Amino acid sequence: MVRKDLSAAQASIPRWVVDELSRTTSATKSAGAIEALAKASEAFQDGAFQRAARHATQAKEFAPRYAYIREVLGLATYRAGDWERGLAELRAYRRMSGDTTHLPVEMDILRALGRDRAVANAWEELQKRGGRASTMKEGLVVYASYLLDEGNAEEAWKLLGTQRVTAQSGEADRRVWYVAAKAAARLGDADAAANLRNAILEGDPGFPGIDELEAEIAAAGRRS
């Protein structure tokens, strides 16, 4: 049921967010934060990440200690390519909420920034603290991709090569298989890479990056 005192834009925000902001922040500040957060949410959904970041920044000015706002701001700045700021905001979100959901995003930012030791530390932190199955799989994807960047296909394969391939698997699993297939190809195991490619295509014929993977498998076949 949509609250009648909210605009259409505000109604797009999760009800619990509106209620929590209204309960923990003064009326003036909560109204400003909710309005700015609604605009940030709409911009994010439209793919206008810089605009989303501007509105989320406004929301933060009204409620800087509210974790959900820091989460939205972190993701918006990350998607806008402002990696340093995205990293800072997502770390703030994790400290405030205790939630590890975006640790793989932090790892991806650190990877892009070339902070090798920090990538490994973040991966260790995720393993220690745990998270949802999808979060752990995305962490595998990012860390194994980092290992491939470093030319360490053997370690990447050790991480990913034992993952089960089943018909009931979803998008997160296919992302793991994709990186595993690249690791296998770089190790010269074209058959293992091709089997993983086939499993990916069976679940999603339009999976992104398949052409690149095909090229790596072909190169592995020529080397064998």
Contacts 24+ apart (CB under 8 A), 20-25: 20/66, 20/68, 21/63, 21/66, 24/63, 24/66, 25/62, 25/63, 25/66
**pLDDT tier for residue 4 given thresholds of 50, 70 and 90:** very low
Phi-psi category of 81—alpha, beta or left, where left has phi over 0 and alpha has psi -120 to 50?
left
Q: For the chain, where are the alpha helices, taking DSSP H only?
A: 15-24, 27-45, 49-62, 67-79, 83-97, 103-112, 116-129, 133-149, 153-160, 171-186, 190-203, 210-223
The confidence score (pLDDT) of residue 224 equals: 64
Closest-CA residue to 141 (of 100, 101, 172):
172
Cβ distance 135 to 143 under 8 Å?
Answer: no
Asked whether residue 67 is domain-assigned, the answer is: yes
Cβ distance 163 to 177 under 8 Å?
Answer: yes
Instruction: State the average pLDDT over residues 11-31.
Output: 85
pLDDT at 91 over 90: yes
Instruction: State the average pLDDT over residues 42-48.
Output: 95
Asked whether residue 136 is domain-assigned, the answer is: no
The confidence score (pLDDT) of residue 3 equals: 35
Number of folded domains that form the chain: 1
Asked whether residue 9 is domain-assigned, the answer is: yes
* Domain CATH code at residue 80: 1.25.40.10
Residue 192 has a CB neighbour count (10 Å cut-off) of: 19
Owner of token pair 């509106």: 18
- Taking only the tens place, the pLDDT of each residue in 130-158 is 999 999 999 999 999 999 999 999 999 99
pLDDT at 5 over 90: no
Average pLDDT of the chain is 92
Asked whether residue 217 is domain-assigned, the answer is: no
86 is in which domain, residue-wise?
1-99
- Taking only the tens place, the pLDDT of each residue in 151-199 is 999 999 999 987 778 777 899 999 999 999 999 999 999 999 999 999 9
Asked whether residue 115 is domain-assigned, the answer is: no
- CB neighbour list of residue 43: distance below 8 Å, 6 or more residues apart: 49, 51, 52, 55, 76
- CB neighbour list of residue 14: distance below 8 Å, 6 or more residues apart: none
Asked whether residue 154 is domain-assigned, the answer is: no
Distance CA 155, CA 95 (A): 30
Instruction: State the average pLDDT over residues 46-75.
Output: 97
Q: pTM (2 decimals)?
A: 0.88
Asked whether residue 191 is domain-assigned, the answer is: no
Asked whether residue 62 is domain-assigned, the answer is: yes
